[in-house]
Amino acid sequence: MCGIVGYVGLKEKKEILLDGLKELEYRGYDSAGIAVIENKKLSNFKAVGKLENLALKTKNYLSSGFGVAIGHTRWATHGKPTELNAHPHLGEKSFVVHNGIIENYQELKRKLQGSGVTFVSQTDTETIVHLFEYYQKQNMQPFEAFEKTVDELEGAYATLLISEVEPDTIFFAKNGSPMLVGFDDKDIYFASSDTPIIGKAKEVYYLNDGEYGYAKDGNIKLYDKNGEKTFTKQPLSKDKFTAQKDGYRFFMEKEIYEQSRVMSETMMGRINGNSIHFEELDQEFLNGIDSIKICACGTSYHSALASSYLFERLARIPCVVEIASEFRYKEPLLDKNTLFITISQSGETADTLEALKMAKRAGLKSLSICNVDNSSIVRESDKTILTRAGIEKGVASTKAFATQTMVLWMLSIYMAIHRKTISQDVLTGEINAMIHTPKALLVNDELHTKIHRLSKRYLHGHGFFFIGRDIFYPLALEGALKLKEISYLHAEGYPAGEMKHGPIALADSHLFTVALMPRTMHYEKIKSNVEELSARDATILAISPMPFDLADDFIQTRYDSHPMLEFFEMMVITQILALEISIRLGNDVDMPRNLAKSVTVE
């Protein structure tokens, strides 16, 4: 994900920018750049790949004395990761960096091109700098031109702009993407999160959506739609590790809350009107494919299992899912017309990687769905779709699962279109539900507080069953895995209809059942299954949009117009339940005992 750093002051600017960008490296990026104005002279450097490449390019450049500087790490969305597409973007005399997405950039670009402006990149960002210069040339003062520019931008952005026409100033604006301003005497810093400025600035102001202004003479002028406004600085944390958690108690908690936002990144550029587009794939790649085999481990296996229902139901293509460590030694029969998909957050899981190598040796086409670019699994695969979840630090995977499931859902639709197995009406319904997914993933205080309160009832007992049917069965498996990883309590995921074939023997008041009861997927059937458990005195926590009288505890969901919206909302609830139980038990949520984030051994 992109990162921004900016600085106005007397210090050596290159080091401040490169150090700051290094702190944002963990977010993932594929190119980087900096721009500095000193003695009214603009200097600019860009490099594709790691920051070391940019450091090499700037090796002989030093900027001492007063100046303004902006830097950026870019994670490609509009246009490939090339130097031309890397930020900062240049107009004639100005540079801009930007995080987010300018939704109306094509309209603005057409208008600017009509007035003779030439664009050199494929990005939405370049529009900002040209728009600024366009207004500036109409005899507007630089800040007036910036204000007019910001007023025309639609979408999410955090942006910094510097210009030779006002060489002692950084113009800034924020709407929907994070940005903060750091202060230390006469030095002013900007960044897209705290870590680049910790140890440099003493105080901070976190910009709110709709705020913009400029930094000059050791201070900032701040505006919103109602005009100039005052603001209060606050002391900046000195602890980088705490700061990276953005105020959350644990990385896992932060990552649960991030899911709504990162899901938009996962979908960005891939939903195209009433269709799905993956620039990573072409239709030729799928020609001749008549079945799918998916291999993965742990949480990734659960997203795979959920998707097998979607591939078969929507794309009408046979789909078999295997646990990678089992697949490796079963002497599998592999058919060249099978598409071999691996799913991995880290891209380094040894069992999944070896399964992929076996499939390649057997001549199958391979596709990986992964969160880490350039990882071993990505390098080994013919094609890759990145999940764009951003770095996941909590050992218990949350946002990786959500984004994997979204990519697989989109892929099932992509294949359904390719195979002509989906009607326009169903397609419209699926796309519409996808667009609403970020809403279903939002966590509100009321929900979190409720789960916190009821979690105290679930700290003991002789075990948990998470039950669901259809896609809610893999979700039940995932809910149980989350709970056991961080609470060390025994939990099992089970298909609800299968309980009566054995596990129901365990039912008594000390058996906790978490029942996933969606309205849109076999509600009456699962209701009967839960009633059977209730009749045997099991303690029931029901998660459903429909009130359920037999529940001991009940969490009511809100998004019940489509099974996947129900799926994602229930997923968040099971994640928070695991988190709250683990916290009450005093466990290390982010680094549970015996577990590693990346399992590179067999």
Active-site residue set: 2, 597
The contact mask relative to ligand M6R for 275-304 (x = CB under 6 A, - = no) is ----------------------xxxx----
Q: Which is nearer to ligand M6R, 243 or 396 (CB)?
A: 396
User: What is the C-alpha to C-alpha distance for residues 240 and 188, in angstroms, rounded to an integer?
Assistant: 19
Amino acid at position 102, single letter: I
**Among 85, 159, 307, 352, which residue interacts with ligand M6R (rule: CB under 6 A)?**
352
Count other C-beta atoms under 10 Å from residue 80's C-beta: 12
Of 30 and 485, which has the nearer Cβ to ligand M6R? Answer: 485
Q: In angstroms, give the least distance from the CB of 369 to ligand M6R.
A: 10
| Cβ count near 354 (within 10 Å) | 18
Place of tokens 């969305």: 77
Q: Min. distance of Cβ 577 from ligand M6R in angstroms?
A: 15
Confirm or reject binding of residue 344 to ligand M6R (CB under 6 A): yes
Q: Considering the complex, what minimum distance in angstroms separates the CB of residue 341 from ligand M6R?
A: 13
For the segment 190-229, give every residue that binds ligand M6R (CB under 6 A): none
The correct pick among 346, 544, 557, 575 for binding ligand M6R (CB under 6 A) is 346
**β-bridge partners, 323:** 296
Tokens of 465: 């069953």
Beta strands in 371-484 (DSSP E): 383-386, 463-468
Span 391-410, contacts to ligand M6R by CB under 6 A:
395-397
**Residue 590 touches ligand M6R, criterion: CB under 6 A:** no
**By CB under 6 A, which span of 144-152, 233-241, 339-347, 425-433 interacts with ligand M6R?**
339-347
* Triad 207, 213, 214: Cα angle to 5°: 110
| Ramachandran region, residue 185 (left: φ > 0; alpha: ψ -120 to 50; beta: rest) | left
- Least Cβ distance, residue 478 to ligand M6R (angstroms): 8
Q: How many residues lie near ligand M6R (CB under 6 A)? A: 15
By beta-carbon proximity to ligand M6R, the closer residue of 421 and 598 is 598
Q: Are 375 and 346 in contact (CB under 8 A)?
A: yes
Read off the DSSP letter of residue 8.
E
Residue 239 phi, psi dihedral angles, 5° rounding: -105, 110
- With CB under 6 A as the contact rule, the residue among 123, 338, 349, 368 that binds ligand M6R is 349
Residue labelled with tokens 């790490």: 73
99 versus 582: smaller Cβ distance to ligand M6R = 582
Candidate ranges 89-97, 343-351, 449-457, 569-577; the one touching ligand M6R (CB under 6 A): 343-351
Gap between the Cα atoms of 340 and 337, Å rounded: 9
Query: Which one-letter DSSP state was computed for residue 198?
Result: B
Q: Is 475 in the site for ligand M6R (CB under 6 A)?
A: no
297: nearest Cα among 339, 362, 354, 372 = 354
Structure token pair of residue 16: 């401040």
Q: Based on the shown chain and the rule CB under 6 A, indicate whether residue 345 belongs to the binding site for ligand M6R.
A: yes
Contact predicate 122/154, CB 8 Å: no
Residues that bind ligand M6R (CB under 6 A): 297-300, 344-346, 349, 352, 395-397, 485, 595, 599
